[in-house]
Copies of this chain bind each other. A is one copy, B any other.
């Protein structure tokens, strides 16, 4: 078998940093959501770009798939090995290589997690803002075009990756982008690799934009009688141009879990969680205006975080929401939806989702990054009940259909993997075939992450 020959060559290059141990293979084939384990044939831990290139050349020569792996926090099966092959775990390529305070950028390795990056940046007065909740790796975040709670202010990975080093399917090592803040020098290769989910190449280095730590930060929660009221308060705030650093929505069902799981002591109603960054005076002014808008929409129970401790507790609660919801009942798994719609349609999209779930008797707490028009419903099902999984998938399908009819997208930040491939043709039409042409051009033998994102090929 092709893999056996490749294995001998890989062991020669990587020594004991490539393994066929079953526990490690299974751990790297696991899903955070509802996919069964799909383990690779081996797991490799390269330490240099040259090792990655050597590994890719060996696997390509033997027709063995190569799957990139960061922290395994993706939600659509992106890092699972559905066709076997070698999973490349970047855990040993996890360093901050360079920080430029003057130019506000950092050069890092893909296996670095965002939390470690920000710890290392603390003394510089700078930070990396993209925050998907999970302590994902920077390489994984780039590959999924991640965003999260701060995108409304600081943008997504698309906006915060300046340059890349990438190993191509034939083992070539290329550099994309530059340290300049803008460029018109040809096709935007950086932008092409960001969001490509390891299907076009393996990212081995990234240069990131950094931002100044704000002089002042203030966070608050407030409750609303209806989902529509909460969402309309957000759209009004955006349309008035008030710069929010984070603006999150959670519905009553999510609050219920917060209370049970973390003793949050919140009234069981839809809430907004908001944060402002800026100078002391700007933050105070913005918070004041926001308070007025909230009042206009019947918001109540306004509570500002008293200090950094309380602020941190608030966002920890939000970040742990997914796990809290899934763990609220034993033997529960989830299909996580991720639609994103134009802001003007957001209230309608959320209300239609809630009505749909009620009608079909599906438990699906709703929460999301409403400043971007992006929200999730965590559709719960019992893994022992295949019919329930089918009902949940049908509900997810209807959510996507409504989002597309509103001009939106099936996924604001989680990506495609295998879990959302069924929506690609509907969203992109012939454009999905164009993605397949790009894949075939750069990875003609389908070495990188086969079966994900692009149309299936006949090979």
Q: Which residues does A use to contact B, with CB under 8 Å?
A: 100, 102-105, 144-147, 151, 156, 158-159, 168, 172-176, 178-189, 191-192, 194-196, 200, 212, 235, 239, 241, 282, 338, 340-344, 372-374, 403, 406-416, 420, 423-424, 427-432, 434-435, 437-438, 440-442, 453-454
Contacts and interface: CB of A to CB of B under 8 A. Distances in A.
Copy total for this chain: 2
B181 A343 contact: yes
A103 B184 CA distance: 28
A415 B188 CA distance: 12
Contacts of A241: 212
B434 A189 contact: yes
- 6 residue pairs, one from A and one from B, having the closest CB atoms: A441-B441, A179-B407, A102-B344, A191-B191, A183-B409, A180-B340
A430 B282 CA distance: 47
10 contacts: A103-B344, A156-B182, A181-B340, A183-B340, A184-B416, A185-B427, A186-B435, A186-B454, A188-B191, A440-B441
Contacts of A176: 428, 431
Given A181-B372, A188-B192, 19 more contacts: A102-B235, A144-B184, A146-B184, A158-B191, A173-B430, A174-B430, A178-B407, A179-B408, A180-B409, A181-B342, A184-B412, A184-B415, A185-B415, A185-B416, A185-B424, A186-B435, A187-B200, A188-B195, A189-B428
Given A173-B430, A178-B427, A429-B174, A185 B411 contact: yes
A453 B186 contact: yes
Contacts of A415: 184-185
A452 to B, nearest CB: 10
A169 B442 CA distance: 19
Nearest to A413: B184
Given A192-B192, A409-B180, A442 B431 contact: no
Given A180-B340, A182-B156, A434 B168 contact: yes
Contacts of A100: 342, 344
A454 to B, nearest CB: 8
B180 A408 contact: yes
A374 B183 CA distance: 9
A415 B183 CA distance: 8
A103 B403 CA distance: 15
Contacts of A174: 428-431, 434
Contact of A180 (B172, B178, B412, B430): B412
A186 to B, nearest CB: 5
